[in-house]
Amino acid sequence: MQIKVTCKDCGNEFKFSVPDKGYEDWKAGKLIQEAMPGVNADFREMLISGICPVCWEKMFGNDDEDYDS
């Protein structure tokens, strides 16, 4: 299934594909990472929050940072 998400912050539009069954399972309550494990994590986050990866990083920083230093 083709999905279109418009970022709530910058307004850019993103289109990507997700498996029909996985999308249905997620909408029915299954965890998105279990319903659609083959979908890029950034795309899954856009489905959940409506925020694109660039805006997400501007708001929250890079997940790969080492917080122990």
pLDDT digits 0-9 by tens, 14-58 = 999 999 999 999 999 999 999 999 999 999 999 999 999 999 999
- Delimit the domains of the chain by residue range: 2-60
Query: CA nearest 39: which of 23, 57, 62?
Result: 23
User: Is the separation of the CB atoms in 28 and 20 below 8 Å?
Assistant: no
**pLDDT at residue 69, as a whole number:** 43
**pLDDT at residue 65, as a whole number:** 54
Mean pLDDT of 51-66: 83
For residue 16, list its beta bridge partners.
3
Q: In whole angstroms, how far apart are CA 41 and each of 36, 38, 68, 69?
A: 9, 9, 24, 26
**pLDDT at residue 63, as a whole number:** 61
Task: Answer yes or no: is pLDDT of 67 > 60.
Answer: no
**pLDDT at residue 61, as a whole number:** 87
